[in-house]
Amino acid sequence: MPNTFALTLKAQNSYPASSVVQAATQQIPDLSFSENDLISGVFEVFGNSTASANTLATSGTTVNSVLAGATAVPLTNPITNATLAFNYWRGLYVTVTRRDPAVAPASVRPSALSTTSLAIEVASKAFTVAASLGYVANMRVRATSAANPANFMEGTVTSYASTTLTVAVDTIGGTGTLADWTITGLICAQIQSNGFGGVVTNTVVPLPIYEGGSFIYSTPTGRKSATSQTLTILLNGTTGLNVNVLVIGS
């Protein structure tokens, strides 16, 4: 029996103000394929992981998983326990779900205040905050104006030393130079790939994926894998989320 894969995608608009008009449905054709030589590996990340990253990385044709700095473990066939040999990428699927339905995800740094006067712009920004807070590198944060939440800057923490919090801002809202910031740790996972799964993401800004989110890349025509290709999964500062990674190859 061959290995099978199916993907169904559908978007439906219903426009609340247009009750006399049928909903508009936009659907991508269903994707399915079935092959004998497909292999897959599953990797699951959870916890806080403030100290070290979670990775999937190639070494030759082997994919090694490293969970929060632990020892590298090769992905294996769950039946034969043989090490899987990935020569080609066929798909990368990442979803982020709540780990325990009864426990809401949270950030280790819910909020902090800063009165540093800063212009809203996409750039590196240094906020003066209290010392010894829970900020860690690679945590995603948003600085919001207390007077008007529409004015904000969002990005990734690059460093936190003493009372200086430096953020690589990549997303902004509003304009102006303000000094009434509330800085909140965002509850999300982040991923970064340097070719793992056939995808290369931004080397500076990891892709944030929030609860219920997903990233999917499917390539029926295999992409040749190479050694040292790495998928990094960051949960820095976020608790209560599960990052589910499914990699398909041949």
Kindly identify the residues of this chain, within the stretch 32-71, that bind other proteins according to CB under 8 A: 33, 36, 38-40, 42
* Residue 60 or 149 having the CB closest to other proteins: 149
* Residue 163 or 246 having the CB closest to other proteins: 246
The minimum distance between CB 9 and other proteins, in angstroms, equals: 5
According to the binding rule CB under 8 A, does residue 198 interact with other proteins? yes
According to the binding rule CB under 8 A, does residue 183 interact with other proteins? no
Among 70, 73, 119, 150, binds other proteins (CB under 8 A): 150
* Residue 20 or 131 having the CB closest to other proteins: 20
What is the DSSP code string of 120-133?
-SSSEEEEE--SS-
Amino acid in position 52: S
Task: Count interface residues toward other proteins (CB under 8 A).
Answer: 73
Among 83, 108, 180, 215, binds other proteins (CB under 8 A): 215
The minimum distance between CB 147 and other proteins, in angstroms, equals: 14
Give just the sign of the alpha carbon dihedral 209, 213, 219, 224: positive
According to the binding rule CB under 8 A, does residue 6 interact with other proteins? yes
Among positions 219-238, residues that touch other proteins (CB under 8 A) are 219-221, 223
Taking CA atoms, 109 is separated from 61, 133, 184, in Å, by: 39, 7, 7
Among 76, 159, 213, 230, binds other proteins (CB under 8 A): 213
Among 111, 117, 202, 228, binds other proteins (CB under 8 A): 202
Among positions 106-145, residues that touch other proteins (CB under 8 A) are 142
Q: Which long-range contacts (CB under 8 A, 24 or more apart) does 196-203 make?
A: 196/56, 196/57, 196/58, 196/89, 196/92, 196/229, 196/230, 196/231, 196/247, 197/89, 197/91, 197/92, 197/229, 197/231, 197/247, 198/89, 198/92, 198/223, 199/92
**Is-contact 134 160, C-beta < 8 A?**
no
Nearest Cα to Cα of residue 33 among 95, 91, 93, 76? 91
According to the binding rule CB under 8 A, does residue 88 interact with other proteins? no
According to the binding rule CB under 8 A, does residue 246 interact with other proteins? yes
Among 61, 97, 116, 128, binds other proteins (CB under 8 A): 97
CA distance linking residue 205 with residue 191, whole number of Å: 9
What's the distance, CA 183 to chain centroid?
Answer: 20
